[in-house]
Structure 1
Amino acid sequence: MSNTRASQTTTNEVLHGEDLGHGNSPAAWTCVFVMMLGAIVSCIGFAIANSIVFWAGIVVIAAGLVVGWAMKKAGYGVGGSKLKNQH
């Protein structure tokens, strides 16, 4: 039997009141849009059994990550210098 009680809290407890920052920024939305476009292209390539179209979609997905990262570095990420509604 353990001597610990269920009501004890630890230092790793999640605080439900803190803002998680879900990435509502132009950089995040652009990244997601480009990656979704790449996923659609890749799925079409898979469905028609065309490996060139499939891998082109994978390249577009990777490009979406790079575009999102570049936009974040340029100040269009959450709390970025180019956004008007900074917290």
Structure 2
Amino acid sequence: MSKAPVSASQAAGPGIYDHVDHSEPIGHGNSPAAWTTVAIMLVGALIASIAFVIANTPIFIAGVVVMLIGLVVGFIMRKAGYGVGGSKLKNAGH
């Protein structure tokens, strides 16, 4: 057995992300749809967290429902053209 050090690239072989195209930036989802979704889901998470601490199941479920509503609102806003590259944002400088 050889005592020579082995680098991680030699030991692991080719990775699954070696052929990913990084020439175009993926962006960060800066759109009204994304921000609205995150804001609604944060409120839902806050409600659910507080309900969890005070052991109130109905309020916890209400917080989870608010988070699901946030997902639906974001999806509807994206389809309405307020997502990244949406038709409503073409001239807004986003």
Q: TM-score, normalised by structure 2?
A: 0.74
1:74 is aligned to 80
Question: Identity over the aligned pairs, expressed in percent?
Answer: 56
Partners of 1:85 and 1:18 in 2: CA distance = 21
Q: Which has the higher helix share?
A: 2
29, 40, 46: which one pairs with 1:23?
A: 29
Q: What is the aligned residue count?
A: 81
Unaligned runs of 5+ residues in structure 1 are 1-5
Unaligned runs of 5+ residues in structure 2 are 1-9
Q: Between Structure 1 and Structure 2, whose CA radius of gyration is higher?
A: 2
Partners of 1:25 and 1:11 in 2: CA distance = 28
Q: TM-score, normalised by structure 1?
A: 0.80
Instruction: Tell whether the 8 Å contact from 1:80 to 1:86 is kept in structure 2 after alignment.
Output: no
CA shift digits 1:31-78 (9 cap, x unpaired): 011001100000000011100110000000000000000000010000
